[in-house]
Chains A and B, each alone.
Chain A
Amino acid sequence: MQKINRDQKVRNFHQAKWDEPIIFELHKSGERGVTLPAVEESIENHVGDGVSAIPAEMMRKRKPNLPEISQNRVLRHYLRLSQETLGAAFNVEIGQGTCTMKYSPKINEAFASSAKMTELHPLQDVSTVQGMLEIIYKLDLCMREISGMDYFSFQPGSGTQSLFTMASIVRAYHESRGEGEQRNEIITTIFSHPSQAATAAVKGYKIITLYPDQDGFPDIEKLKAAVSDRTAGFVVANPEDTGIYNPRIKEFTKIVHEAGGICYYDQANANGLLGITRAKEAGFDMCFFNLHKTFSTPHACGGPATGALGVVGKLKEFLPGPIVEKQGENYSLNDNLNHSIGKVRSFQGVPQTVLRAYAWIRSLGAEGLKDVAKVAVLNNNYLYHKILKIRGADAPYIKGKRLEQVRYSWEQLTKDTGVTTDDISYRMADFAHHYWSSHHPYVVPEPFTLEPTESTSKADLDEYIASLTHISNEAYTNPEVVKSAPHNSTIHRVDEQDFFENPEKWAITWRSYLKKIKNTETINS
């Protein structure tokens, strides 16, 4: 047989394209997707039709205008849509810096879909959920080891909600000391996630944002100038989204503590730090980890998720309740925390995520967790080293080593060719890659932020690098092909005009779309 040539460096890819209608277009009057449990005749004899009990003014007059579709057509529709989605399980997923897109082991999905997990009601008697509470408690113990904190809460449903919870604790703490009014400022940095600033503002704080010095570190002199008796807290990621660890972090937390503020740590970027360095030793009073990032639970299109929140002993009483405790061999729920901020999410947050994360930790052990950090950092430095060799690419700030991610820049390439980071993002989709620019504002010009976790092999990294190199070459030789990308995606470039900005044109639902196209057709006719 003839040898089949597979020499091409970039992937010869085309995404699934099913040309699937909007679900309402699948409506066929009378079809059914599922039937419900029957009502026994004897119940009907007792109570009649049930609905007659509803007062006339509260009775729904017209049935909701939902489509009627048979079961296999509903399934087929959603399976097709799933194929038109590039989940992290499918690609070399290193393109979403700051979000630690790693492998989510299938065995942990088996646990999460067990009836011993899915069919638990959150208000069951604690004697019937000892297994669930044991897992929550044991993950708490692991997280204490990883961070040096004294207690964890898994109630927050994401990193953002954890940041909100920490800002709430900062407020409650100062209020408990009679300084709630006076301490009205929270200090953050520009390379930290926007939610740090946003959630502190939701809690009524004035935000002070530190910009980097010439090496890319938050400017310590600016911090010294910013702290005062108005300082309530300081929130920062370390490393920040540049992947540069701030070696003076202990001085930062000391400066804030001396001013009477609380230091809280966004550990969204913790993947290179497991077993390497901890929040406690750096002087933090609180920290959080995203279980859906560092601890492998799936991102699920954006939740459900968990922002595991750890605090030092003096802040335990401020945690949202209840917390899980152990007495003898029994686990219990304690909702008697003196200064508790109350609650941030119903019940116990998202326990199936806690279960997955605990299983993941147990599949690695202390040594494996440290390997996660070591390999993630090795992978990142390899990628970094190779990307700096690509024409038009650079990484601002210090030229030394980086931890688990890097924020790069195509500034030179854009100057040379007119091709932007957004164009490259769309072109990367043609080769089955996700690629992300940066949060706003773009401090680094034409940014892109990559984070290879421990899950990527050298071959994976080489493929990603080959695709970026290929696109850089295209930009310098045939920029049009990049500027008009994507070519191999499910759809072509969205004609944005003002469909997302103009109230006359935007349609956030199908019914709104139908109304607005009808209006346009009337005007045009």
Chain B
Amino acid sequence: MKKQAHPYIPNTVPEVQEEMLREIGAQTIEELFDGIPEELQYKKEMNIPKALSEYELRRYIDGILAKNKSTTEYVNFLGAGCWNHFVPAVCDEVNQRAEFLTAYAGDPYEDHGRYQALFEYQSLMAELVDMDVVNVPTFDWAQAAATSIRMASRINGRNKVLLPKTISPDRLKVIKNYCSPHIECILVDYEEDSGQINLSDLEDKLSSSIAAVYFENPSYLGFVETKGQKISKLAKSIGAITIVGVDPSSLGVLSPPSHYGADIVCGDLQPLGMHMNYGGGQSGFIATHDDLTFIQEYPSRLFGIAPTVVEGEYGFGDVLYDRTSFALREKGKESVGTQTALWGITAGVYLSLLGPAGMYELGKTILQKSQYAMGQLGNISNVVASRFESTNFKEFVVDFSYTGKSVKDINKYLLDHGIFGGKDLSEDFPELGQCALFCVTEIHSKEDIDRLVTAIQECIDAK
């Protein structure tokens, strides 16, 4: 039987192949691989099942995906670096457009729209953080933080960084790997009652070898770090750079870090219009002032606006391209390449849709709903919510240590009742005992929260 052409491979038509081979002057396609030595040619057939038609594929893949229970089926209170937010339909429409989805490395004469959309993303994000420079997105918060730290180290030539002990352990792993072997990561203790950075420990650890002080707002454990101004002053006093990691969904209501002394601001764009995608929605950003000292240390692309030869046209291009590894290989600043540009465009769409009032309402709604959840959980006897006496945004630590139940027990019960409970902190923060990190956002209704509270009450009451 004649072999059928594959729908994705037009030139599997035998007559076309013959015509092309004639043109080239070859007898067979196999001849074209003559340059690969016989001993390296793979003679076996790969153990990969035979091709499925589109319909068969749909049945097969849908069948596997059906084994997943998504957060549309369960009520989700997990956050810890990836958050369940409302995603406007326009965000999906724009990032699924085939033009954006399949574009890549065109210059401004092919991809004017891509350049403009990313320049606009930089500009919208700049308003949110109130700084003049934002990069084309990086991989995620963790890598953006690592790069921010490396930028600081290149600027002042120092090789140690101070980070809060409350940082996400996974984020710290990424940062440590990006910093090793040049930069040593040193953790600063936190106040036992409030979770806030322990200023005396910070002062003890500050020295002339500290390149940067990095902290987060809100912290990984959900509370607002209120001593930002003091921390950045202390950092400045010894010539260190202040870096603040921030959740952008908080910036409608919380002060942007540039207002309390941050030199570099970084964080994750995922809350701004990206579905969680099992972690695939993460996307990093870095922002600074319009200061040459900082700008020349970005590894990322920075799109700038410029006139064209025709009056009235906006043109775009790469600012200081010669910083990058594209231009200088190992002598460039770290490395650049494919990261998460489509999520940058999406975050721009999101910020355009919400506007200043929407960002304020987002922050306010999250505060109200999370405060309600904390209050209700705290009303359960022997449950402490929140574990820390600080203001929380979106996430908070619930302490089950006095309930006689472990977080594991509680989460198992919740799972059986259609709820994804908070992230178990008992391994990563053993000093906190049986604590879990819960996340409440604008998507949670009163009914969702009440259901959580009732289920936890039941679990604790059960023998």
Q: How distant is A405 from chain B, measured CB to nearest CB, in Å?
A: 13
- Asked whether A379 is an interface residue with its Cβ less than 8 Å from the other chain, the reply is yes
Q: With an 8 A cutoff between CB atoms, is A199 at the interface?
A: yes
Select the stretch in B137-145, B200-208, B236-244, B454-462 that faces chain A.
B137-145
15 pairs, A vs B, C-beta closer than 8 Å = A44-B368, A53-B391, A59-B253, A90-B98, A103-B8, A278-B42, A304-B283, A304-B343, A362-B61, A367-B51, A434-B110, A492-B310, A492-B315, A508-B132, A510-B123
Question: A425 at the A/B interface (Cβ < 8 Å)?
Answer: yes
Whether B367 contacts A50 by the Cβ 8 Å rule is: yes
| Interface size range on A against B | 35 or more
Complex Cα distance, B45 from A199, in Å, reads 35
Q: Establish whether residues B81 and A508, one from each chain, have CB atoms under 8 Å apart when the complex forms.
A: no
B110–A489 CB distance below 8 A: yes
B184 interface residue (CB < 8 Å to A): no
Q: Chain B: which residue is nearest A164 at the CB level?
A: B335
Contact present for A199 and B304 (CB under 8 Å) = no
Contact indicator A362/B49 (Cβ below 8 Å): yes
A117 at interface by CB-CB < 8 Å: yes
Q: Does A351 contact B (CB under 8 A)?
A: yes
Residue of A with least CB distance to B132: A512
| A219 contacts the other chain (CB 8 A) | no
**B338 near A298 (CB under 8 angstroms)?**
no
A523 at the A/B interface (Cβ < 8 Å)?
no
A358-B60 Cα distance, complex, nearest whole Å: 11
Q: CA A346 – CA B139 in complex, angstroms? A: 9
Q: Is A6 an interface residue (CB 8 A)?
A: no
Q: A50-B367, A301-B100 in contact; A33/B355 too (CB < 8 A)?
A: yes
Given contacts A82-B100, A119-B276, A197-B330, contact A494 B16 (CB under 8 A): no
A37 contact set on B, CB distance < 8 A: 86, 365, 442-443, 445
Tell me the minimal C-beta distance from B336 to chain A in angstroms. 7
Given A78-B349, A82-B97, A342-B173, residue A118 in contact with residue B276 (CB < 8 A): yes
Asked if A375 is at the interface (CB within 8 A of a chain B CB), the reply is yes
List the A residue with the shortest CB-CB distance to B9. Answer: A454
CB of A7, distance to nearest CB on chain B (Å): 21
* Cross-interface CB contact of A68 among B106, B110, B355, cutoff 8 Å: B355
Which residues from A are CB-within-8-Å of B1?
A: none
Q: What 0/1 pattern do residues 290 to 304 of A give for CB contact below 8 A with B?
A: 101000101111111
| Alpha-carbon separation in the docked complex, A292 to B104 (Å) | 10
| Chain B, residue nearest A454 (CB) | B9
Nearest CB on B from A437, distance (A): 10
Q: Which of A281, A302, A352 has the most chain B CB atoms inside 10 A of its CB?
A: A302
Contact A429 B329 (CB under 8 A): no
Is A32's CB within 8 Å of the partner chain B?
yes
Closest Cβ of chain A: how far from B51's Cβ, in Å?
4
* CB nearest neighbor in A for B112: A490
Q: How far is the CB of B338 from chain A (nearest CB, A)?
A: 4
State whether A64 touches B252 (Cβ < 8 A): yes
Within 8 A of A (CB), among B279-314: 279-280, 282-283, 290, 292, 295, 302-310, 312-314
- Kindly list 8 other residue pairs between chains A and B, CB separation below 8 angstroms, not including A401-B31, A500-B306: A63-B252, A85-B114, A96-B104, A303-B137, A346-B170, A364-B6, A457-B10, A493-B315
> CA separation between A36 and B271, bound complex, in Å?
14
B140 in contact with A88 (CB, 8 Å): no
Is A303's CB under 8 angstroms from B339's CB? yes
Question: Does any Cβ of A come within 8 Å of B134's Cβ?
Answer: yes
Partner of A300, one of B307, B326, B341: B341
Q: Which residues in B have their C-beta under 8 angstroms from that of A71? A: 90, 353
B335–A36 CB distance below 8 A:
no
Please tell me if A323 contacts chain B, counting CB pairs below 8 Å.
no
CB of A87 closer than 8 Å to a CB of B: yes
- B212 within 8 Å of A (CB atoms): no
Assuming the contacts A85-B111, A378-B32, A508-B302, asked whether A300 and B101 have C-beta atoms less than 8 A apart, the reply is yes
The answer for the CA separation of A379 and B29 in the assembled complex, in Å, is: 10
By Cβ-Cβ distance, the 6 closest A-B pairs, closest first, are: A347-B279, A33-B353, A50-B367, A84-B113, A160-B337, A198-B325
CA–CA, A177 and B89, complex, Å: 53
**Contact between chains at B338 and A378 (CB < 8 Å):** no
Q: Write the A63-80 contact mask toward B (1 if CB under 8 angstroms, else 0).
A: 111111101001101111
Q: A47 contacts which of B278, B335, B375 (Cβ < 8 Å)?
A: B375
Answer whether residue A313 sits at the interface, using C-beta atoms and an 8 A cutoff: no
Residues of A within 8 A of B303 (CB): 508
B37 CB within 8 Å of chain A: yes
A44 to chain B: closest residue by CB: B368
B45 neighbours in A (Cβ, 8 Å): 275, 366-367
> 1/0 contact trace for B223-263 toward A, CB 8 Å?
01010110000000000000000000001111110011000
Is A473 in the interface zone, CB < 8 Å from B?
Answer: no
A301-344 interface code vs B (CB 8 A; 1 in, 0 out):
11111000000000000001000000000000000000001111
Q: Assess whether A58 is in contact with B143, with CB atoms less than 8 Å apart.
A: no
* Bitwise interface map of A from 7 to 28 toward B, beta carbon under 8 Å scored 1, else 0: 0000000010001101110000
Once A86-B110, A118-B275, A378-B32 are accepted as A-B contacts, the answer to whether A305 and B335 lie under 8 Å apart by CB is no
A47, B371: Cβ atoms under 8 Å? yes
Q: What is the bound-complex CA distance between A233 and B318, given in angstroms?
A: 33
Q: How far is the CA of A117 from the CA of B361 in the complex (A)?
A: 28
Instruction: Give A129 to B62 CA distance when docked, in angstroms.
Output: 14
- B313 touching A491, Cβ below 8 Å: yes
- Is A495 among interface residues, defined by CB-CB distance under 8 A? yes
- What 0/1 pattern do residues 91 to 132 of B give for CB contact below 8 A with A? 011111111111111111111111011111011101110101
Contact A119 B81 (CB under 8 A): no
CA A37 to CA B443, docked complex, whole Å: 7
Question: Considering the complex, which residues of chain A in the window 78-110 have a beta carbon less than 8 Å from any beta carbon of chain B?
Answer: 78-90, 96, 99, 101, 103-105, 107, 109-110
Set of chain A residues within 8 Å of B362, measured between Cβ atoms: 36
| Highest count of chain B CB atoms <10 Å: which of A122, A171, A296, A359 | A122
Chain B contacts of A512 at CB under 8 A? 126, 132-133, 290
Report if A348 contacts B (CB, 8 A). Answer: yes
CA distance A99 to B217 in the complex (A): 38
Counting chain B CB atoms within 10 Å of each CB, which of A201, A363, A379 scores highest?
A363
Considering the chains assembled together, what is the distance between the CA atoms of A481 and B367 in angstroms? Answer: 60
Asked if A99 and B279 sit within 8 Å, CB to CB, the answer is: no
The docked-state distance in angstroms from the alpha carbon of A499 to that of B217 is 35
Cross-chain contact A82 with B310 (CB below 8 angstroms):
no
- Are A43 and B446 closer than 8 Å at their CB atoms? yes
| Distance between A443 CB and nearest chain B CB, rounded to angstroms | 12
CB distance from A364 to the nearest CB of B (A): 5
1/0 per residue, CB under 8 A from A, across B443-456: the answer is: 10110000000000
List residues 167-203 of chain A with CB under 8 A from any CB of chain B: 168, 171, 194-195, 197-203
Known contacts A124-B78, A276-B36, A345-B142; is A491 also within 8 Å of B315 by CB? Answer: yes
Known: A195-B337, A492-B310. A369 touches B88 (CB 8 A): no
Residues of B within 8 A of A350 (CB): 277, 279-280
Question: Which B residues, 63 to 98, have Cβ-Cβ distances below 8 Å to chain A?
Answer: 64-72, 74, 76, 78, 80-82, 84, 86, 88, 90, 92-98
Give chain B residues whose Cβ lies under 8 Å from the Cβ of A358: 61
B315 and A364: CB pair below 8 A? Answer: no
Within the complex, the shortest CB–CB distance from A348 to chain B, in Å, comes to 5
A123 to B351, CA, bound (A): 27
Interfacial chain B residues near A226, Cβ < 8 Å: none
Whole-angstrom distance from the CB of A321 to the nearest CB of chain B? Answer: 9
